[in-house]
Amino acid sequence: MADAADLDAFKEGSAVDRHQFRFIVSPEDAEQLDDLRSYTRHLMARMEGDLGTRLEWVAVDHWNTDNPHTHVVLRGKDDIGKDLIIARDYIGEGMRHRASELATEWLGPRTELEIQRAMLREVDQDRWTGLDRTLQREAVDSLVRPEMLAEPRLQRQRQMLIGRLQRLQRMGLASEQKPGTWAIHADAESTLRAMGERDDIIRTMQRAMSGRQRELAVFQPGEDGRAIVGVVVGKGLTDELYDKGYLIIDGIDGKAYYVALPPRPELEQYPAGAVVEVKGSVDVRATDRNIAALAVDGVYRTDHHLAVAQGQGAPDRDPREAVAAHVRRLEALRRAGIVERVAGGVWHVPCDLAEQGRQYDARRLGGGVAVELKSHLSIERQARVIGATWLDLQLIGGGKGLGDLGFGNQVKGALRQRADFLAEQGLAERRGQRVILARNLLSTLRAREIVVAAQGIAVETGLVHRPVSDGQRLVGTYRRSVQLASGRFAMLDDGLGFSLVPWRPVIESQLGRQLAATVRGIRVSWELGRQRGPSIT
């Protein structure tokens, strides 16, 4: 048994299983167990004896709640590769009996007083409890009648169960239909579990904030498209086995936020101290609107789009680049089964493409939560660094929306330091209380930082740095990405020299391959694979 399970190998093996078993081991006195991990191993070993087969499983301990517990995922195959069948009564009672038996051996039998105190604590808890499970088990058609609670086996719990029913009634989750007869509402379990999760979230946030006084809030994706900006003060996985993560954000508005992330989060992208923006609802993309508007009888053609774009003559973008962006979007929607590629440059699109595209983005983002890294640097480092930073954008925007608590107040102080630093660099001038910033401040800072970074790469590789001019098309092998204060850049190597080009997520899978890019300011259009006419991808 290994402490560090190979989750990827486990998932790969489980892919062929007809089913899995997922359960939580939550001993009532888990906090008294010195080694919850060993306890779980011993429990699984006893289950192997009961079921007559070796079991393949992974588990993770959670100590961040009132009741420490372990999540277990058990593969649906036995030791000879057949489907693992577990009787319903063993799942319902046998496993619970084994867990209780083992806990008794480890901690000794509980006294009657300890049992009564444990049940008494559950009466008023705002979470799903053992008393609730007992009521659920005893209820018939969601009704608990007096004769049920009078059963001898429930004698020890009877007063606590009645107390719990009264508590559920006050919470609006049960009602006394007539004296002694209670109806438990259908949403009682889901509501109580959600309330328990909320309390766990609050404790997680309080630990992350380390006693700093903030109004605590859970970020809820809404239709208003509201976004929050702040610094990462905590992060983690709420369920490693389901790949569910979270961030704790100290917002510029003076509030602290809990942000539930989409499945399979890459938490390393958001280091502690990084500045991020979290957006709520997923809006319809302008690209999807354009495609729908350009489609004739449900058919979108790249040659038609190119002719329209050339006729419009937009000065800030090459028409071929505009078409390329739309083709990339169509390819993504094709893989999702929303559009169909009829031929090169010809696509069949549904009449409700814009809405289907929005729903696709919402599913991909796990409910519409998108986190954008604004700066991997702490606010203190941003104050005195050469490079175009998030702090510079706040200076240009006048520092709007900054609260007087927490991160918002820190940003106010950092803005004063940044203004002083830029003045030292000849890029700003103080006139009384006003700060006059140099023209083209961001591009100047970005260019200075790229020069310094390129000098280091040139020394390391022996290649000559080739600066990028506006509108230039470059071709080269994507060697690596470079994280700068101004953002992330891709190193393109043409064999004799290299250039640093704004990085985009779409190219990360192309490492080591030859790519082409056209740069206009901080915007870049990447070309992947072979090109045919205007269908640049």
Burial string for 485-523 (b: 16+ CB within 10 Å, else e) reads: bbbebbbbbeeeebbbbbbeeebeeeeeeebbbbbeeee
Q: Domain total for the chain?
A: 5
Among 332, 364, 396, the domain boundary falls at 364
Among 364, 385, 420, the domain boundary falls at 364
Q: Evaluate whether residue 1 is within a structural domain.
A: no
Could you tell me the CATH number of the domain that includes residue 85?
A: 3.30.70
> At 447, which amino acid appears?
A
**pLDDT at residue number 530:** 47
Q: Evaluate whether residue 312 is within a structural domain.
A: yes
DSSP string for residues in 156-175: TTHHHHHHHHHHHHHTTSEE
Among 438, 473, 491, the domain boundary falls at 438
**pLDDT at residue number 532:** 40
**pLDDT at residue number 196:** 85
Q: How far is 345 from 302, CA to CA, in rounded Å?
A: 5
**pLDDT at residue number 318:** 74
Q: Are residues 420 and 455 in the same domain?
A: no
**pLDDT at residue number 471:** 85
Q: How far is 118 from 111, CA to CA, in rounded Å?
A: 11
Q: Six-digit token pair at 60?
A: 């993770």
Q: Evaluate whether residue 508 is within a structural domain.
A: yes
Q: Evaluate whether residue 161 is within a structural domain.
A: yes
Q: Are residues 149 and 92 in the same domain?
A: no
Q: Evaluate whether residue 417 is within a structural domain.
A: yes
pTM of the full structure: 0.65
Q: Are residues 99 and 11 in the same domain?
A: yes
Q: Evaluate whether residue 124 is within a structural domain.
A: no
Tell me: the pLDDT tens digits for 241-273? 556 788 999 999 999 999 988 776 678 888 999
Q: Which ranges constitute the DSSP H helices of 313-376?
A: 319-335, 353-364
**pLDDT at residue number 150:** 85
**pLDDT at residue number 112:** 62
Q: Are residues 40 and 89 in the same domain?
A: yes
Q: Evaluate whether residue 241 is within a structural domain.
A: no
Q: Are residues 28 and 65 in the same domain?
A: yes
Q: How far is 206 from 201, CA to CA, in rounded Å?
A: 9
How far is the first Cα of the chain from the last one, in angstroms, to the nearest whole number? 48
**pLDDT at residue number 23:** 81
Considering all CA atoms of the chain, what is the largest pairwise distance in Å, rounded to the nearest integer? 89
**pLDDT at residue number 343:** 87
Q: Beta strand 340-343 with 497-502: parallel, antiparallel or unpaired? A: unpaired
Q: Six-digit token pair at 47?
A: 């289950």
**pLDDT at residue number 225:** 60
**pLDDT at residue number 3:** 56
Q: Are residues 151 and 79 in the same domain?
A: no
Could you tell me the CATH number of the domain that includes residue 182?
A: 1.10.10
**pLDDT at residue number 64:** 56
Measuring CA to CA, how many Å separate 291 from each of 2, 331, 347, 357?
52, 13, 10, 11
Torsion of CA 395, 400, 404, 409, to 10 degrees: -20
Q: Are residues 349 and 392 in the same domain?
A: no
| Low-confidence residues in the chain, pLDDT < 50 | 1, 223, 530-537
**pLDDT at residue number 240:** 54
Structural domain range at position 88: 7-107
Q: Are residues 15 and 88 in the same domain?
A: yes
What's the distance, CA 6 to chain centroid? 21
**pLDDT at residue number 531:** 43
Q: Evaluate whether residue 232 is within a structural domain.
A: no
